[in-house]
Structure 1
Amino acid sequence: MSNIIEHFKTLTQIPHCSKDADKLCDFLVDFAKERGYEVEVDSTKNIYIHKGTPSLCLQAHYDMVCMGKAPQIETYEEEGWMKAKDSSLGADNGMAIAMMMQLMDEGRVLEFLLTSDEEIGLIGANEVAFDFKAAYMLNLDSEDEAEVYIGCAGGADITAFKQDSYAEGKGDCYEVAVKGLAGGHSGVDINKGIPSAIKVLGRYLAQKDVTQLASIYAGERRNSIPANAVAIVRCEKLLENEGGVQVRKLRESPMILSEGDKLIALINAFKHGVRKENRELGIPDVSINLAIINADERGGVTIETSARAMDADSLDALTYETVSFFEMYGFESKVEDKYPAWKPDITDFTKLVDEKMKEVFGKSKLMAIHAGLECGVIAEKYPKMKFASIGPTIRYPHSTRERVKLDSVEKTFTVLDKIIQSV
């Protein structure tokens, strides 16, 4: 176990934010080759590592969502959890990579698929085309111990743009800010009552009848619940702090967006969060995250959202509804990085994984997750392979509160070892 944690700490010191993980890619390639494994890297920086004729392929992504001070990560342990000081930790999915490194240290006859840029639309998984030998693939990107995941949500990023112009404004100028909210994963945390900084800001501006918007910079990542949002506005009446909204009067007299009132109305009207529950699975069925809104100095307004659904029809319906909503406010929309749902399926492989989970934890549940796992994408490419997903307990990924339960890592690795021996 200590070796896994040490491997993980090594990973935290190598920058690997999405779109900027080349240093970690090179490190992992060298690590595998030094231990006698064959390595292939494709054009999207997916890494395929293999030895002998394995029956099992282990899969994880090696990029991370960088929040706060990341990629500068300082880890510490507290009451059985590993955390990071003022940054995301990268346990999603770095702890899985650390487990793989331990298995390579042991020289196991396995395949390893390490995918790139999962956190920004499963980009690497969409391009996987390696010649796998194994009949089974075990994804290590789940975030709850004693659970075996056999299905996941599909998703799409819906972006919108409008070119506005600037006009003269009236009244005093204010900075209106919502800062330092908890944030969280836009899929697995979307039903946990975590407030969106964008929605809190929009509600305040609408309630105060603010219609003059000079600029807005809100949200951090498409797949993170917004923790921060700041707007510069003008208003002819006094604005003051209220609840979690911080107001600061400025001496400036900026121009305002000609249709800033419509943008404020859009933010207030947008139905962020869970749209429908899946009572059978006990998770959200349909959700959308109003992730980022920015206005540039030329009056261009950009909106970014992340939509998820447990089936293709629901995702298509949500996508159509969102595009139509943006069009009502004069925006042009695009649908990007769409990926399929992984329909829950019980197989001999999922039964085996479930059995080994029970041997270690004394319990297990077959589950689906309201987030994108790469199993859905890869399963479409390799229909003869059988898939399952497990992982140690990780809380609040994609935020500066991210943490991983250390004894869960040890036990999950024991489950993994039992699966490898049985397959």
Structure 2
Amino acid sequence: MSAIIEHFKTLTQIPRCSKEADKLMEFLVDFGNARDYSVEVDETKNILIRKGSPKLCLQAHYDMVCMGKAPKIETYEENGLMKAKDSSLGADNGMAIAMMMVLMDKGEELEFLITADEEVGLIGANALSFDLKSSVMLNVDTEEEAEVYIGCAGGVDINASMQDTYIDGIGECYEVAVKGLAGGHSGVDIDKGIPSAIKVLGEYLHEEGVTQLVSFYAGERRNSIPANAVAIVYSEKPLEEKGEVKTRVLNEKPQVLKEGAKALELIHTFKHGVHRQNKELGIPDTSINLAIITTDEKGGLLIETSARAMSAQGLKEISDEAVELFKSYDFDVRLEDKYPSWKPDVTDFTELVSEEVKKVFGKSKMTAIHAGLECGVISEKYPHMKFASIGPTIRFPHSTREEVDLKSVEKTFEVVLGVIQQVK
């Protein structure tokens, strides 16, 4: 078993869900100090670990999307893949951290920038304040081997809320549920045909003519395609199970939301998924994830979405479209955690990285990703630096199906070592 995998297994036993990763932060600080590196932590809990006069900065984030039983993670291997039992694995971005730990064990003169809360809006990267010495940065947070990423999507969370009142319902009360769908990353998986539990449930209720809503609880994370959705509704006709939709009669008589029909119509109308394709890059250009819906006992209803686009103009267009839709249904709208796209840029550094990828994999492809990478934010803060991003093959991140190709991890680390030698 390689040192990288051993270090990664150690990381899986340290809780690091977004906004709850202090134990891992403390572990990494101690790890760097014990190997005679200088270590700094800023107010947002970003970590900078440095030795000597480095020319290269390796960058990754230390939080993870916790799905299923996570942060309790039990790993296993199957056909050359590492997976986790009933939880997300955290290979995104734990494998990069494990690679950094091996390099620290070797005493390499590098900068290691390890950012906080990337998965919930690139919070750490947005607040970076370190004095970085390096002239180039290699981000290790992408999920397809033999590819060099030179651009990424920007994004913004668009949240809509309504304060409603309750009235008496008519007919039979039902629980209607869609549970255990595949889920997935709301960026890189948004074009893979993965069904949204919210849309599946919403379409069923629309087809059945249901207009009386008691409550709606759906989705897991803003950056995950929702795998579960449950609604309590009234219906004047029997509701039968259909496909993924399960129904059961409730022997209760709760009141219904006065504007429930409007909320259900909005769910039906909302265009979840890819809105426009980027033909030049062969990836989505704009998309939006209908991520989470919750109601409360006081009549409050909250809808959380995550929009992405490969350009600032694209992000404005899809944001404006969502805001207009929500307002047309009398929702109050709030935009949060906006981050910029990283415009695709071929430089001498991306060429250098591409050559090292070719040496190891026999091929290399420069491309962009329909997801947020911290390169976009960091490049605005450090305009003198050049950036590239690589990573091992990780499938279905942000879901309980997450898996990482172990051979890909080893080969990607070979690329990292090659880049280090070339930059030296």
TM-score, normalised to structure 2, is: 0.99
Q: Structure 1, residues 66-93: CA drift from partner, whole Å, max 9, x if none?
A: 0000000000000000000000000000
| Structure 2 CA distance for aligned equivalents of residues 217 and 133 of structure 1 | 47
| Structure 2 CA distance for aligned equivalents of residues 327 and 276 of structure 1 | 22
Q: Structure 1, residues 157-198: CA drift from partner, whole Å, max 9, x if none?
A: 000110001000011110000000000000000000000000
Report the CA distance between 1:321 and its aligned residue: 1.1
Q: Structure 1, residues 176-227: CA drift from partner, whole Å, max 9, x if none?
A: 0000000000000000000000000000000000011000100000000000
Q: Structure 1, residues 24-49: CA drift from partner, whole Å, max 9, x if none?
A: 00000000000000000000000000
Counterpart AA for 2:396: Y
| Structure 2 CA distance for aligned equivalents of residues 250 and 307 of structure 1 | 36
Q: Which runs of 4+ in 1 moved over 2 A?
A: none
Q: Which residue of 2 aligns with 1:260?
A: 260
Counterpart AA for 2:158: I
Report the CA distance between 1:324 and its aligned residue: 0.8
Counterpart AA for 2:137: M
Q: Which residue of 2 aligns with 1:177?
A: 177
| Structure 2 CA distance for aligned equivalents of residues 359 and 137 of structure 1 | 20
| Structure 1 CA distance for aligned equivalents of residues 382 and 129 of structure 2 | 9
| Structure 2 CA distance for aligned equivalents of residues 64 and 293 of structure 1 | 22
1:217 aligns with 2:217: yes
Report the CA distance between 1:377 and its aligned residue: 0.1
Q: Which residue of 2 aligns with 1:164?
A: 164
In the TM superposition, 1:307-346 aligns within 5 A as 307-346=307-346
In the TM superposition, 1:95-114 aligns within 5 A as 95-114=95-114
Report the CA distance between 1:110 and its aligned residue: 0.2
Q: Which residue of 2 aligns with 1:243?
A: 243
Q: Structure 1, residues 228-258: CA drift from partner, whole Å, max 9, x if none?
A: 0000001110001001100011101110000
Q: Structure 1, residues 120-175: CA drift from partner, whole Å, max 9, x if none?
A: 00000001111111100000001000000000000000001100010000111100
Q: Which residue of 2 aligns with 1:378?
A: 378
| Structure 1 CA distance for aligned equivalents of residues 271 and 231 of structure 2 | 20
Q: Which residue of 2 aligns with 1:77?
A: 77
| Structure 2 CA distance for aligned equivalents of residues 202 and 253 of structure 1 | 22
> 2:185 is paired with a residue of what secondary structure?
coil
| Structure 2 CA distance for aligned equivalents of residues 131 and 44 of structure 1 | 15
| Structure 2 CA distance for aligned equivalents of residues 10 and 142 of structure 1 | 21
Q: Which residue of 1 aligns with 2:273?
A: 273
Report the CA distance between 1:11 and its aligned residue: 0.3
> 1:345 is paired with a residue of what secondary structure?
coil
| Structure 1 CA distance for aligned equivalents of residues 288 and 186 of structure 2 | 8
Q: Percent of aligned pairs with the same residue?
A: 71
**Structure 1 regions of 5+ residues with no counterpart?**
none
Q: Which residue of 2 aligns with 1:360?
A: 360
> 2:32 is paired with a residue of what secondary structure?
helix
Report the CA distance between 1:2 and its aligned residue: 1.0
> 1:25 is paired with a residue of what secondary structure?
helix
Q: Which residue of 2 aligns with 1:128?
A: 128
Counterpart AA for 1:322: A
| Structure 1 CA distance for aligned equivalents of residues 50 and 410 of structure 2 | 24
What is the RMSD computed on CA atoms of the aligned residues? 0.5
Q: Structure 1, residues 62-119: CA drift from partner, whole Å, max 9, x if none?
A: 0000000000000000000000000000000000000000000000000000000000
Report the CA distance between 1:320 and its aligned residue: 1.0
Counterpart AA for 2:43: S
| Structure 2 CA distance for aligned equivalents of residues 133 and 315 of structure 1 | 32
| Structure 1 CA distance for aligned equivalents of residues 271 and 79 of structure 2 | 38
| Structure 1 CA distance for aligned equivalents of residues 60 and 367 of structure 2 | 18
> 1:334 is paired with a residue of what secondary structure?
strand
Report the CA distance between 1:317 and its aligned residue: 1.1
Q: Which residue of 2 aligns with 1:22?
A: 22
Q: Which residue of 2 aligns with 1:226?
A: 226
Q: Which residue of 1 aligns with 2:283?
A: 283
| Structure 2 CA distance for aligned equivalents of residues 39 and 111 of structure 1 | 10
